[in-house]
Amino acid sequence: MSDEYCFACGEKNPIGLHLTFDFDGEKIFARKILPREFEGYAGTAHGGIISTLLDETMCKFISAKYHEKSLTARLEVRFKFPTPIEKELKITAWQENQRKNIITMRSTVETLDGTITAEATAKFALLSAN
């Protein structure tokens, strides 16, 4: 089964985010400028879209490091500041620990001036271990 229609990273999804990632072995990064179509309040990205950015980046870290698929078991997002639309954002994720098939991750969304607008912690279950 192909992931080409994934809302966050699918190349063929016409309304998707089309995220691409860079992995350095320790962290994974994505950059994105959100268009007005993803606006919540005026000038601010919708919280659901921000949650998707955080979740997908953590999931892609696991895919890049372990070459396995995973499912989000728990996701907690903290919105610290409004995230602007139509400005470049950097999304970063890294692993905190692993117990058997459960991986604990962290992720941030930040503006180019380094302001972290949102952060997340999550637990992911590796699918191959089930």
**pLDDT value of residue 2:** 65
> Which residue segments constitute the domains of the chain, with CATH numbers given?
22-126 (3.10.129.10)
From the list 9, 13, 14, the residue with the least C-alpha distance to 91 is 9
**pLDDT value of residue 14:** 82
Q: What is the pTM of this model?
A: 0.93
DSSP state of 17: -
**pLDDT value of residue 6:** 82
Mean pLDDT by 10 residues, the chain (130 residues): 76 85 97 96 96 96 93 97 98 97 97 98 85
Question: What are the CA-CA distances from residue 125 to residues 23, 45, 93, 113 (Å)?
Answer: 20, 28, 16, 34
